[in-house]
Amino acid sequence: MARRNTLGLICELKAQEYFAKQKDLIVFTPLGGLGPVDIITLNKETGEFQAYDVKAVSKRKTTRTSVDKHGWKRTIKSGMRINRTTSTLQKKLKVKLFYVD
């Protein structure tokens, strides 16, 4: 098994627990923990599959102000969640991000 971040592993286990408690969902995880997907759920009623990439919530430490290319002033406050994006492959596979605090 690949070397993994313990916080990431804990968050994946919390996400698996969350989905396992949902009625009609079966939770699958990738073998070896590698790849663009951390969890796949199957809804037994509808047959719908959904892929998730689990992320630990990260918060900003300081407040900062920036100006974008259009001249709009933007203030990012400390304590706000840092939003992550999906990779090109994850977008193609329609993977959703699932944040765990």
Residue 97 CA to residue 87 CA, distance in Å, equals 11
CA nearest to 15, candidates 44, 45, 50: 50
- Asked whether the beta carbons of 41 and 52 are under 8 A apart, the reply is yes
pLDDT for position 4: 62
Question: Which residues of the chain are modeled with pLDDT < 50?
Answer: 1
Q: Return the pLDDT at 63.
A: 87
Q: What is the pTM of this model?
A: 0.80
pLDDT recorded at residue 86: 94
* pLDDT for residue 17: 96
Q: Say what the pLDDT of residue 2 is.
A: 54
